[in-house]
Structure 1
Amino acid sequence: MKTRAKITMEPENLILDLEKILKGIRLDEWEIYLVREQGTAVEVKEQNIESFEKEDHLGLALRVSQGGRLGFGYSTDFRGASLKNLVAGIFQRMKESDTDPDIVFPENDGQTINLPEIYDQSFTERTDKDKIEKAMLTERSAFETDSRIKRVRECEYQDSLKEVWILNSRGLNRKGISTTFSLSVSALAEQGMDAQISSEFDWSFQYGMLSPQSVGRGAGTKACDKLGAKPVKSAKTPVIFSPEVSGELMELLSYALSGENLWKNKSWLKGKQGEKIFSSKVTIIDDGLFLKGPECFAFDGEGVSSRAKVLVDKGVVKNFICDSYYGRKLKKGSTANSRRDSFLSPPSVGPSNFYLLPGHKSQEQLIAEVSSGFLVREALGMHTADEISGEFSIGVSGQWIERGRLERAVSGVAIAGTLRELFSRVAEVGSDLKFYHNCSAPSVLIEEMEISGS
Structure 2
Amino acid sequence: MMEINIFIDLLFKNAKERGLENFEIYYTSSKSSSIKVFNQEVDSYSDSTSQGISFRVLENGKMGYSYTESIAEKDINFLISEALENAAVIENEDIEEIFCGGEEYTDVEVYNPDLEDISIGDKVSLLMETEKKAKEMDIRVKRISHCVFGNGSSTRIIKNSKGLNLSEKGNSAYIYISLVAEEEGITKSGSSFKVSDNFSSFNADTISKESVEEAVSKLNPVSIGSKEYKAIIKNEAFASMLGAFTGIFSSDNVQKGISKLKGKLGSYIASENVTIIDNPHMKRGMASSSFDAEGVPTKYKEVIKNGVLTTYLYNLKTAKKDGVKSTGNASKGGYKGTLGISPSNFYLKEGDTTYINLIEKLSDGVLVTSLAGLHSGLNSISGDFSLAAEGFFISDGKITNSLNQITVSGNFFDLLNEIVAVGNDLKFGLSPIGSPSILVKKLSISAD
TM-score range, shorter chain: over 0.9
Q: Does 348-357 or 378-387 show the bigger shift?
A: 378-387
Q: Does 90-99 or 310-319 show the bigger shift?
A: 90-99
1:38-437 equivalence runs, <5 A? 38-100=31-93, 102-115=95-108, 117-291=109-283, 293-384=285-376, 385-436=378-429, 437=431
TM-score under structure 2 normalisation?
0.95
Residue 321 of structure 1: how far off its partner (Å):
0.5
1:22 pairs with 2:8: no
- Cα deviations by residue, 1:175-229 (Å, 9 ceiling, x for unpaired): 1111101111211111121111132221012222233332222222111111122
1:285 match: secondary structure? strand
TM-score under structure 1 normalisation?
0.94
1:292/1:358 CA distance change after superposition, 3 Å: farther
Residue 417 of structure 1: how far off its partner (Å):
1.2
Q: Does 88-97 or 435-444 show the bigger shift?
A: 88-97
In 2, the alpha carbon distance for the partners of 1:61 and 1:422 equals 42
Aligned to 1:4: none
2:35 match: secondary structure? strand
Residue 367 of structure 1: how far off its partner (Å):
0.6
1:205/1:415 CA distance change after superposition, 3 Å: same
Aligned to 2:446: 452
In 1, the alpha carbon distance for the partners of 2:198 and 2:339 equals 27
In 1, the alpha carbon distance for the partners of 2:441 and 2:352 equals 17
Residue 263 of structure 1: how far off its partner (Å):
1.0
Which of 432, 437, 442 aligns to 1:438? It is: 432
AA at the equivalent of 2:46: E
1:381/1:120 CA distance change after superposition, 3 Å: same
2:245 match: secondary structure? helix
1:59/1:138 CA distance change after superposition, 3 Å: farther
Residue 292 of structure 1: how far off its partner (Å):
5.7
Residue 316 of structure 1: how far off its partner (Å):
0.8
AA at the equivalent of 1:354: F
- Cα deviations by residue, 1:291-321 (Å, 9 ceiling, x for unpaired): 2631012211222222101111111111001
In 2, the alpha carbon distance for the partners of 1:209 and 1:441 equals 21
Residue 256 of structure 1: how far off its partner (Å):
1.1
In 1, the alpha carbon distance for the partners of 2:333 and 2:123 equals 25
Query: What 5-or-longer segments of structure 1 have no aligned partner?
Result: 1-7
In 2, the alpha carbon distance for the partners of 1:198 and 1:260 equals 38
Residue 246 of structure 1: how far off its partner (Å):
0.6
AA at the equivalent of 2:317: Y
Q: How many residues align?
A: 446
In 2, the alpha carbon distance for the partners of 1:143 and 1:47 equals 11
In 1, the alpha carbon distance for the partners of 2:207 and 2:90 equals 49
Residue 232 of structure 1: how far off its partner (Å):
1.1
1:186/1:19 CA distance change after superposition, 3 Å: same
In 2, the alpha carbon distance for the partners of 1:374 and 1:219 equals 21
1:95 match: secondary structure? helix
Residue 69 of structure 1: how far off its partner (Å):
1.5
In 2, the alpha carbon distance for the partners of 1:260 and 1:215 equals 40
In 2, the alpha carbon distance for the partners of 1:326 and 1:445 equals 35
Query: What 5-or-longer segments of structure 2 have no aligned partner?
Result: none
Instruction: Tell me if the contact between 1:163 and 1:178 (Cα under 8 Å) persists in the aligned partners.
Output: yes
Instruction: Tell me if the contact between 2:2 and 2:73 (Cα under 8 Å) persists in the aligned partners.
Output: no
1:80 match: secondary structure? coil
2:403 match: secondary structure? strand
2:224 match: secondary structure? coil
1:134/1:302 CA distance change after superposition, 3 Å: farther
Instruction: Tell me if the contact between 1:294 and 1:435 (Cα under 8 Å) persists in the aligned partners.
Output: no
Residue 13 of structure 1: how far off its partner (Å):
1.2
